[in-house]
Structure 1
Amino acid sequence: MNTRHTGNPSQARARVLARALGATLAGIAALCLGGCSDSLESFGGPTMGSTYTVQYVRGSGMPAPEALQSEVEKILADIDQQMSTYRSDSFIERFNDGPAGCQAAPASVLKLVEYGEGLSRNSDGAFDLTVEPLLNLWGFGPKGEGLRVPSAEELEAVRALYGYHHLQVKGAELCKDRDEIQVDFNGIAAGYAVDLIAGRLEQLGVKSYLVEATGELKAVGRKPDGSPWKIAIEAPQSETRVPQMIVALDGYAMTTAGDYRNFFEENGQRYSHTLDPSTAAPVAHALAAVTVIDPSALNADGLDTLLMVLGPERGLAYAEREHIAAFFVSHDGKGFVSRSSSAFDALVAAQQGKP
């Protein structure tokens, strides 16, 4: 599918949102578009430097909303304690600050590292969990000292400080072979949180829900009137939040990565927070945003980052090869051009056609 639409180009400015896990800004907004009723329950709060929300259909035998919220916030607190790069006492920061070697690690950390390694190997390193030194150098990371363009010498030096092949899981331990290697779960922690929350809700008897954390979301079931959960894919504009497409979802997660809110400009050149490990620099292609739909929010979250690095042509080819449901929006003069994978078109049509 190819569509073309117009929009105002982003204004020159630096705009970085501090997030406890450095999670990639998602370009989607969960909208309750008609069909909402008083039987819907909802709660939410702060998380990962942003927010989370849960909407669900309450039925007999379910815990009270306060009890469900307590369960959800336990999950979020555990993830923060294990994976936040914005607190010195988290497991991953202690690992990052430690010397080369192995440390016993939480099962969730090991799972995400193994998942990330799989994405890295399958994409020739386009996805890399160890690029925190690179993010910091450009000013986008948790220890960045201001947004700026590094010198050629700095870029050459930083290449020795990251690389997914320096990180390994050995049994119940996380290992690195260089002191400088640092892990940042930017790009997958929020999706992982959504999956855990969705799983816990189902364990507690919730059958219909919409879970969102920092913009990454998953929808299952129907609203009380039988209508589906409807999600807006946001147009990639930095100044306004405008829905570009509305998608009905049941049993799927949807996440978006984009360059339209987290960037800076210097000497007329735009620099995105999406960095290409192979060049040690922000991506230079025209891709503005990519949305992925998948049964797993973790998988969608990792894939949208990977595809954002690959760009519109290589990303679409990768999505077709791997049967990924992906929707790409690229800069095109003063507007944008949209393309989607065949898996995306088929999935959206199937979801729209559900009774």
Structure 2
Amino acid sequence: MRALLIFILILMSACEPTPTLERFGGPTMGSSYSIQYVRQPGGPAPEQVQAEVEAILQAIDARYSTYRGDSTVSRFNQLAANQCLPIDADLFELASFGQHLAEQSQGAFDLTVEPLLDLWGFGPQAREMHVPDPQALARARQRVGYRHLRIEGEALCKDAAIELDFNSIAAGHAVDLIAQRLRAMGIEAFLAEATGELKAVGRKPDGSAWRVALELPREDRQIARQVIDVEDMAVSTSGDYRHYFEDNGRRYSHTFDARLGRPVEHDLAAVTVLDASALQADGYSTVLLILGPQQGWDFAIAHGIAAVLVTRVEGGFVSRSTPAFERLVKGE
């Protein structure tokens, strides 16, 4: 009888549903997104979750894509100087954060950099990547400057013919919105990624942490420089090795210092930032990359940013981690 009872208990436990790891993904923002989530018994099916995620991504695209003439940002960019455009709370949040980063970085980071991107060949209106002539550069720089942008109530206003580009922070913001939606659906553990920006919450079904590989910047292939456990944290990496051109032996990346009107020219190749907010991680990884190896390091230390800075040196790369990064990786 005892053996029979044990056998029945084993059968009952074997029939109990267990959590499963679901995966899906697709194209977005000129790149891709991917979602992994732990589906508890009775939890939402992948088709339902994917529909919710893609609705968020489509809304982000409708607001911030500079490749769509009907997006909110494109409509603002088409306005003449001294005009305003009513905006929703989402765009208000991103514009406010972008202006905050511009103030903190003394204008190195700047949402109004779009004319420069087009001129150098990196923007939606560009024909080819090239070094512009000085006269064209001087004209474009007259249409750049975060101080020409202001928020008045529920409207975004310009006092010059500036054009905005949110690509440096929109993907991180999308990941935060996805994370909020997944949690609202009762999903307590997931890894959400969009165009390389990601956020990990909870743990995998076996109880282990989500693992994220930090890339070593190489043009020919991707190499994992460091693999870290991530829980309830976002990870953003910005680098100059994915989108660039060379001219007369010089390298020009898509990372611009708005103060100079040109791509950055220093040896900082990549920056990874950890933060509870994907938006914050996305924005600050860009700021540090613009500032360069020493100014970026000083900025990260001064603001307590958890970051790894990867600098080019003769024969390879050197990585330097801030104390805040080391503490997070150690779980302190």
**The structure with more radius of gyration:** 2
Q: Distance in 2 between matches of 1:154 and 1:346?
A: 47
Percent sequence identity is 53
Shift, 1:60, TM fit: 2.9
Aligned residues: 314
> In 2, are the aligned partners of 1:128 and 1:164 still within 8 Å (CA)?
yes
**Residue equivalent to 1:129:** 111
Task: Say whether residues 1:105 and 2:92 are aligned partners.
Answer: no
**Residue equivalent to 1:58:** 39
Return the match for 1:155 from 137, 152, 157: 137
Greater than 3 Å deviation, 4+ residue runs:
none
Q: Distance in 2 between matches of 1:59 and 1:38?
A: 5
Which amino acid is 1:138 matched to? W
RCO comparison, higher one (Cα < 8 Å, 6+) = 1
Calculate the TM-score normalised by the size of structure 1. Answer: 0.87
Shift, 1:38, TM fit: 8.3
**Residue equivalent to 1:272:** 253
Shift, 1:62, TM fit: 2.1
Secondary structure class of the residue paired with 1:350: coil
Structure whose residues are more often helix by fraction: 2
Trace 1:180-191 onto structure 2 (pairs within 5 A): 180-191=161-172
> In 1, are the aligned partners of 2:275 and 2:306 still within 8 Å (CA)?
yes
Shift, 1:151, TM fit: 1.6
Trace 1:266-345 onto structure 2 (pairs within 5 A): 266-345=247-326
Shift, 1:61, TM fit: 3.8
Trace 1:212-251 onto structure 2 (pairs within 5 A): 212-251=193-232
> In 2, are the aligned partners of 1:82 and 1:106 still within 8 Å (CA)?
no
Shift, 1:71, TM fit: 0.6
Unaligned stretches of 5+ residues in structure 1: 1-36
Greater Cα offset, 269-278 or 206-215: 269-278
> In 2, are the aligned partners of 1:275 and 1:282 still within 8 Å (CA)?
yes
Calculate the TM-score normalised by the size of structure 2. Answer: 0.93
Q: Distance in 2 between matches of 1:159 and 1:183?
A: 13
> In 1, are the aligned partners of 2:191 and 2:200 still within 8 Å (CA)?
yes
**Residue equivalent to 2:15:** none
Secondary structure class of the residue paired with 1:161: coil
Greater Cα offset, 332-341 or 189-198: 332-341
Secondary structure class of the residue paired with 2:281: helix
> In 1, are the aligned partners of 2:19 and 2:39 still within 8 Å (CA)?
no
Shift, 1:158, TM fit: 1.6
Q: Distance in 2 between matches of 1:55 and 1:90?
A: 29
Q: Distance in 1 between matches of 2:46 and 2:211?
A: 22
